[in-house]
Amino acid sequence: MPGRSVRKKEQRLVPEGLLLFRDNILSKGNIFGATSKARWAKGLELPAQGETIFFAGCGYQFLGEAEAILAAVRALDKRNLPWERTLGVTQFLNKRGINLGDLYGKITRRFRRAENPLLSAVEVLQGMDIDLGYLAEEEPCCAAPLYYAGFREEFAAQAEKTQALFKEKGITKLIGMVPSCTFALRSLFPRGSKGRQVEVSHFLEIVWEKIKKGKRFRLPREVIVTYHDPCILSRYLSLTEEPRQILRSIEGVVFADVERNKEEWSTCCGGGGGFEVIYPEISHTIAANRVEELLKTGASTIVTSCPGCLIQLREGVKKLKAREVEVMDMAQLLRSALPEG
Amino acid sequence: MSKAKAYKKRLKEAARDPKISVALKRAIESYRKNVDEALKKFPHTLKLAEEVRGIKEQSIPRMEELAAQACEAIRQNKGKASIARTPGEALEIIEGIVGTGKLIVKGKSLTGEEIDLREHLEARGNEVYETDLGEYIIQQLGIKPMHLLAPAIHVPKEDVAKLLSRVTGKKIPPDIETEVATVRGILRDKFFRADIGMSGANVVAADTGTLFQIENEGNIRLSTSAPPICICLVGMEKIVPTIEDAFKVAEVTWRFAGYTVPAYVNLVSGPSKTGDIEKVITYGAHGPKEMHVIFLDAGRSKLAKDPAFQEALFCLRCGGCLYECPLFAVTAGRFGDKYFGGIGAIWTAFVTGDLTDAAPLTYSCLSCGRCKVRCPMEIDAPQMCLELRKRITQGS
């Protein structure tokens, strides 16, 4: 067993951005160290229990916050200024009684429903007659960032706590929104012998099932759409046909698939494995490269299904000054294609 | 500045350098086209790659035994062979053969790069010429290689013209054909005046002691056959049981490097010889009289015993993964140390450095997984990078 000082020294080798994620997850149960994660759902009156639980995930719950912090961090990194502390601003402000999560929550709430992937997803799922529960403030963190940073013991401990919570609440089905959470809950969590196994689906799988059974979506006007495969969905969860089938089934969508696609060749948005908080500037360059590939399709709308990719691609579009191009979540596109009334 | 900080700085500078991203964009496009065509023309390659993975799975755990067998076979061919456990040992053996004040021509060798072979020989008062065109450019510019197979990938023809004008004292135009002819002219007499020729090998057959050297320029065959002494430094993981296995490994290697077939594959098993006069075998005919092979361990045998990471030794160094890495596309060889990309992080941790050296590399991996898709050996470098992160946090 290495002594405490040895461990400390080794942990200096872990990038600061990932250490902050770890500390936030361990102390606050979310990657941003915010005190509230469920503000987005205010007014939805989703029950706090049920057999099928909507697992929103940090990435979507703090989408606005993450986007703003990353933009700030990138601006500093480009000027070669130390930006690591900016990531820690959350803790700094928390200590002084200011909660950044709350602050951004207020901004996020101002977002129109169509612009919020979570609100859109809930509306789409409910529109398909699915009874959803949402654990709200009790929603545990999937802790995947701990796994990716190398903190396996901490990850295993979180996983155990989470599994116990699911068991206690009698949850049998989860609908994941964030690819990384979905993968962690489905594949990285130890297959314990204790209790029932929770069935973990991704939002796209649920939607595709319903479309197969006859559910129809229609856009008010025709749009050329391309799809970006999030690495975790494509290469880790093999979810590549479902999004394409969904897009092809939406009336009004002209689907233009990108050349580099699916499990084999889809290109990373530059935000994999926490890279964006280790190398913010380079991550931005990689995002722009991916957007360039996607725009070769002639699409005016890039659809994806991951909060990390969403932020990256939006930043990439900005970098390329492709002002006419819109990046949106599949949930948003589906919501705008819901039948009226 | 800490190692990690210095690395970060280099990585950022590379990502800001338009020369790198433009060159890589072209290289990636042409690689994908070439490899697609090569695989279409020779579709059996995919099946063969599976077979080669099987050969590697068998060979790596038997590395010690195969190395001993290869040494014995080379000795029977009247070559000299040894196993160097550390870079220091390898340098000592080579410096013992070379001495000082010699003219040396050298083929591109990653294993040589691994132990800074050229720098050491130069420091001992030898005149060393890299003869691979890209490597020659790198050597003359005094910079580090940026790619396994195309070390000067980021240097445009205008810069090469400037460099060659300086070397020759004549005005060389930025015309690629003229540049290639100029380097041919410079190196031509070096090959024949050289005291020693050096190379590595892509794969080695343990049963016959045969080294396979894949190349296109013809510089390796000149380096290993024109001078009177030939020295080859080879990583121990390159040895497979039979010459038949070696052919398979070689074919998969060049195909995934993007070639239907390379211009040359040299098979070298020992010094040159003739029995043409009275059937008396005499060594040193037109080729070298002396042939030395040094197998380098330097952490490989330890890595072979680590179940979580031994797969890294299956790497054929075809370079395919690098063309699929989104980070490599903007930083080239700056994402790496002696070896590049995600797989480079593992080699850094176990072979050329330690966990401290490997940490910034392993935390650079996007874990997007596309390198694994390209890899003919299906090496899961991203998963190994995550395992490495685990060891880093555990301090072991």
- B282-308, pLDDT tens digit by residue? 999 999 999 999 999 999 999 999 999
pLDDT, mean of each 10-residue run, chain B (396 residues): 87 93 92 97 98 98 98 98 98 98 97 96 98 94 80 86 95 96 97 98 98 98 98 98 98 98 98 96 96 98 97 97 96 93 97 94 97 98 97 86
**What pLDDT, on the 0 to 100 scale, is given for residue A3?**
41
Query: pLDDT tens, A35-58?
Result: 889 989 999 999 998 889 999 999
Contacts 24+ apart (CB under 8 A), B95-101: B95/B120, B95/B121, B95/B124, B97/B196, B97/B229, B97/B231, B97/B290, B97/B292, B98/B124, B98/B126, B98/B196, B98/B231, B99/B124, B100/B124, B100/B125, B100/B126, B101/B125, B101/B126
Mutate to test the interface with B, among A183, A285, A319 (most CBs of B within 10 A): A285
Nearest to B356 among A11, A13, A152 (CB): A13
A interface with B, Cβ–Cβ below 8 Å: 2, 6-7, 9-11, 13-15, 18, 77, 80, 147-152, 231, 235-236, 263-268, 270-273, 275, 278-279, 281-282, 285-286, 289-290
Within-domain flag for A58: no
Subunit contact B367:A289, Cβ cutoff 8 A: no
Domain count, chain A: 1
CA dist., res. A338 & res. B19, Å (int): 48
Going by their DSSP bridges, the two strands B282-283 and B273-274 should be labelled as antiparallel
Query: What is the domain range of residue A298?
Result: 216-336
Q: Which amino acid is at A294?
A: L
A106 pLDDT band (50/70/90 cuts)? low
Which CATH number covers residue A287?
3.40.50
Please list the residues that pair with B268 across neighbouring strands: B211
A88, A298 contact by CB (below 8 A): no
B interface with A, Cβ–Cβ below 8 Å: 4, 8, 11-12, 15, 21, 324, 326-327, 329-331, 355-356, 359-360, 363-370, 373, 382, 386, 388-396
Subunit contact A236:B364, Cβ cutoff 8 A: no
Nearest chain B residue to A5 by CA: give it.
Answer: B395
Query: pLDDT tens, A220-271?
Result: 999 999 999 999 999 999 999 999 999 999 999 999 999 999 999 999 999 9
Average pLDDT of the residues of chain B: 96
Subunit contact A282:B326, Cβ cutoff 8 A: no
Within-domain flag for A325: yes
User: Which has more pLDDT, A83 or B291?
Assistant: B291
Query: pLDDT tens, A192-208?
Result: 545 567 999 999 999 99
Query: pLDDT tens, B163-181?
Result: 999 999 999 999 999 999 9
Q: Which of chain A's residues have a Cβ under 8 Å away from the Cβ of B390?
A: 150, 152
Residue A104 clears pLDDT 70, i.e. is over it: no
What domains lie within chain B, and their CATH numbers?
A: 3-41+306-394 (1.10.1060), 49-299 (3.40.50.10420)
Within-domain flag for A18: no
Q: Which of chain A's residues have a Cβ under 8 Å away from the Cβ of B324?
A: 265
**What pLDDT, on the 0 to 100 scale, is given for residue A8?**
63
Nearest alpha-carbon partner for A230 in A130, A305, A121: A305
**What pLDDT, on the 0 to 100 scale, is given for residue A10?**
63
Query: pLDDT tens, B143-160?
Result: 888 777 777 888 889 999
**What pLDDT, on the 0 to 100 scale, is given for residue A2?**
41
Query: pLDDT tens, B66-106?
Result: 999 999 999 999 999 999 999 999 999 999 999 999 999 99
Subunit contact A268:B366, Cβ cutoff 8 A: yes
Within-domain flag for A304: yes
Q: What percent of chain A has pLDDT over 90?
A: 70
How many Å separate Cα A133 from the centre of its chain?
A: 19
**Average pLDDT of A76-92?**
75
Longest dimension (CA), chain B: 69
B360, B4 contact by CB (below 8 A): yes
Report helix, strand or coil for A246: helix
ipTM over 0.85: yes
What is the CB neighbour count within 10 angstroms for residue B289?
Answer: 16
